[in-house]
Amino acid sequence: MLKYQQIAAEIEKYIEDHALQQRDKLPVLEALMAQFDVSKSTITKSLDLLERKGVVYQVRGSGIFVRRHKRKGYISLLSNQGFKKDLENSAVTSKVLELDVRKPTEEAAYNLNIGLDTDVYYVKRIRYINGKALCVEESYFTKSIVPYLNREIAEESIFTYIKEGLGLKIGFSDLYLKVGKLTEEEAKHLGLNSGDPKLYAESIFHLTNGEPFDYSQIAYNYEDAQFFLQSNHI
Amino acid sequence: MLKYQQIAAEIEKYIEDHALQQRDKLPVLEALMAQFDVSKSTITKSLDLLERKGVVYQVRGSGIFVRRHKRKGYISLLSNQGFKKDLENSAVTSKVLELDVRKPTEEAAYNLNIGLDTDVYYVKRIRYINGKALCVEESYFTKSIVPYLNREIAEESIFTYIKEGLGLKIGFSDLYLKVGKLTEEEAKHLGLNSGDPKLYAESIFHLTNGEPFDYSQIAYNYEDAQFFLQSNHI
């Protein structure tokens, strides 16, 4: 973690510890520089990062203000951490239905930018929040990048393993969302009825060098899946 | 528009004009500086903006690369422009069902941070893409910020009017997404059946000074509503 990222995390903690609300004003730049004992350029980078994350907004000539805390139970669409990180206060568990090495589907090969004869790890899981089924997830990991996976890892967080176990740097992601109707099989896994609404997400995760390594297709339980997104003036 | 924003738009146009694909490399910094005749700090700010917008990714020590163009027909979740801007190649039209000045609902008052006795413009519209109903939208605009609206404006883009007509600066937004079932009234407007899936979005738009001015509740047609989001390493 770079210095400005660390300071950003500390400012975020300061906001939480002081239970600051939307539109509450943060101390001025000079005060923040003194409080965290860093240069102006570091504090500016920290604040820019927090602004991009939707934690603060900066009003020219007026100051830095807090953005409202997200509603409880909503999953951030912008997190690159996998949703386990968003739902820290909930018990997230996974049941692994399938895990093997195979050839990708055409769709997976296309999205992972690999040939149809390239090995991938295929993982199919049901993910639960506090014991309730949140989603059915099918993931394809390029095996040349993620050379090993097992059920124990897949029952926990695959992303934590990829970052901490394999030392890979996760970069950007593409997310596509649609609404549809649950198939019979999905409904069975989620404890719902076939034809019930579903949120269908496809996501492609890339390393910082731009290589895609994970293509996932996720069907969410419509009763529990709630998402939020805080965006900035772009 | 600031210089770096203008250059960012030009680089984006360059990428489109040259039909560059995901992982194509952009010219090096020095070449871009020369091409657009700007300083290093300007080009760096332009590239950072494009990275946040999901147009490029930067690999340290290796260069600047293009991110894949979005799939066609998907609406960007990160755009602050209203979706008319995302669907530029489609004909977006609106039918105004209701438009009046009234008192806000409790929910609207809470999200707009105003009292229950404050006047708001209430607009209910069906929005169409190429003649097909995309969504039913109910919006509340704080009247002290948006002092005037009429049907003609609401049939076109309210956001264009707010920016260009009223000269207001639109800042950040909060978006909440859920999946549910269409009510009978929504289904009627969308040409679907009651109980069919819907994507339900709530959005709160703020001015750059942090004041919320628009709270909207939108029910999307599940057959046509597709969204995408490109995120970065945060």
| Residue showing tokens 């069907």 | A219
Q: So what's the pLDDT on residue B85?
A: 54
Q: So what's the pLDDT on residue B70?
A: 59
ipTM summary value: 0.83
Could you tell me if B2 lies within 8 Å of chain A, comparing CB atoms? no
Separation in Å, CA of B124 to nearest CA in chain A: 23
Please tell me which of the candidates B22, B172, B199 has its beta carbon nearest to residue A232: B172
Could you tell me if B177 lies within 8 Å of chain A, comparing CB atoms? yes
Percent over 70 (pLDDT), chain B: 94
**Phi-psi category of residue A149: left, alpha or beta, with phi > 0 → left and psi -120 to 50 → alpha:** beta
**8 Å CB contact of B199 and A179:** yes
Rounded to whole angstroms, the Cα distance separating B207 from B204 reads: 10
**Residue closest to B55 by CA, chosen among B95, B98, B90, B9:** B9
Q: So what's the pLDDT on residue A233?
A: 60
Q: So what's the pLDDT on residue A193?
A: 94
Show the tokens assigned to A178. 């649609």
Q: Mutate one of A107, A111, A173, A178 to test the B interface: name it (highest B CB count within 10 A).
A: A178
Check the CA dihedral B131-B97-B142-A53 and report its sign: negative
Sequence length of chain B is 234
What residue ranges define each of the domains in chain B, with the CATH number in brackets? 3-66 (1.10.10.10), 75-228 (3.40.1410.10)
pTM for the predicted model, two decimal places:
0.85
**8 Å CB contact of B178 and A59:** no
**8 Å CB contact of B232 and A65:** no
Q: Which residue has the higher pLDDT, B135 or A80?
A: B135
What confidence tier does B81 reach under pLDDT thresholds 50, 70, 90? low
Q: So what's the pLDDT on residue A86?
A: 57
Q: So what's the pLDDT on residue B19?
A: 87
Torsion of CA B155, B159, B161, B165, to 10 degrees: 180
Strands of the A120-129 sheet, one edge to the other = A92-102, A120-129, A132-142, A212-221, A197-207, A170-181, B226-231, B75-76
Q: So what's the pLDDT on residue B49?
A: 87
Q: So what's the pLDDT on residue B100?
A: 98
Q: So what's the pLDDT on residue B79?
A: 63
Show the tokens assigned to A193. 């009825």
* Closest CA in chain B for residue A229: B175
Mean pLDDT taken over chain B: 89
Residue B60, pLDDT above cutoff 90: no
Percent over 90 (pLDDT), chain B: 66
Question: Which portions of chain A are predicted below pLDDT 70?
Answer: 69-70, 79-89, 233-234
- End-to-end CA separation in angstroms for chain B: 26
Q: Which of residues 135-164 of B touch A (CB under 8 A)?
A: none
Q: So what's the pLDDT on residue A85?
A: 54
Please give the radius of gyration of chain A, using alpha carbons only, rounded to the nearest integer. Answer: 20
**8 Å CB contact of B49 and A178:** no
**8 Å CB contact of A225 and B178:** yes
Please tell me which of the candidates A23, A62, A172 has its beta carbon nearest to residue B233: A172
**Which are the contacts of B143, defined by CB distance < 8 A and separation ≥ 6?**
B101, B118, B119, B120, B121
What confidence tier does B77 reach under pLDDT thresholds 50, 70, 90? confident
Q: So what's the pLDDT on residue A60?
A: 84
For A189, the enclosing helix (H) or strand (E) is helix A184-190
* Closest CA in chain A for residue B70: A174
Instruction: Please give the average per-residue pLDDT across B113-132, as a whole number.
Output: 95
Q: So what's the pLDDT on residue A229?
A: 84
Rounded to whole angstroms, the Cα distance separating B182 from B186 reads: 6
